[in-house]
Amino acid sequence: MKAPAPSARRHVQTLWSWLWIVLGVLYFVVPLIATFDFSLRAKKDVLTFLAYGRIFTDAAFWRTFSFSLQMAFFAIVVSILLVVPTAYWIRLKLPRLRPMVEFVSMLPFVVPAIVLVFGLIRVFSGPPFRLTNTFAGTNVLLVAGYVVLALPYTYRAVDTGLGAIDVRTLTEAAQSLGAGWGTIMFKIIFPNLRVAILSGAFLTLATVIGEYTLATFIVGNKAFGPYMSLIGQNRTYESSSLAIISFLLTWAFMGLIQIFNRGRAEGHLAGAR
């Protein structure tokens, strides 16, 4: 009957929505297609995975990749051990300090990576620390830097996770059943924060694995990010295949977070540029 007006309006709205989605998807996909296409053209006039083969047989690729993986691993472990007990303790015993801890955990937003690394090098190359004089020392500094970069995301994920469980009641229940602090931490708090911790961990992994700014100034070409940069300066097709590999890695980590989070938009805001 007289129904068409609202439904026509809805059609226009849906069309308008699709228009923007298509535009965004094009922006997202075209560079990937172009890169993939380019990565297959290492030989004239044929499509080949040669560039990928060269990367995967490059010892430097595996060396730098596993180095960055190790750095990421340590950064994740340190982040969790640092953030979870702190956030828990703040909620339980020192709620007055919460704004302060929140503020501190947001500081890395204010200090860009390039500024952070500048300060880190200046402070820790001289006495009393002298961390930059040894390999172990530079690795420690890099891990610390990564923990700082990840801090805002890790803290927020953990704090949100703690907000979703009733920390005080759980703790009191555990205490009334005779549990000590260790048991409470490892048998109650950590398991209940599984989702938050895992998504924080994979987000850290995704940002740290190809990280360039901190790595190049602290450890140089030992890390994966600087390695990619080096390849980009000398080898055209291989750099495209590295971009695709790196993209797939990011995709895998983010996909895992998505699985843990079940479609919540929270928790995957980006890290270092």
- In the region spanning residues 175 to 234, those forming contacts with another protein, defined by CB under 8 A, are 203, 206-207, 210-213, 217, 225, 228-229, 232-233
Contact between 131 and another protein per CB under 8 A = no
In the bound state with another protein, the residue whose beta carbon lies nearer, of 193 and 206, is 206
Give the per-residue contact string, 38-77, with another protein (x = CB under 8 A; - = no): xx--------------------------------------
Q: Does 33 bind another protein (CB under 8 A)?
A: yes
Tokens at 12, concatenated: 């226009």
**Percentage helix, strand, coil, to 5, in the chain?**
80, 0, 20
Q: Is 198 exposed, middle or buried (CB count within 10 Å of its CB: 0-12, 13-18, 19+)?
A: middle
The interface region with another protein, picked from 43-51, 65-73, 84-92, 157-165 by CB under 8 A, is 84-92
Asked if 24 touches another protein (CB under 8 A), the answer is yes
CB of 112 to another protein, least distance (A): 3
Please report whether residue 254 would count as binding another protein according to CB under 8 A: yes
Spell 236-255 as b/e; 16+ CB within 10 A means b: ebbbbbbbbbbeebeeebee
Among 18, 49, 62, 186, binds another protein (CB under 8 A): 18
How many chain residues are in contact with another protein, going by CB under 8 A?
A: 102
Which region holds residue 45: left if phi is over 0, alpha if psi is between -120 and 50, else beta? left
Closest CA relative to residue 143, chosen from 56, 200, 211: 211
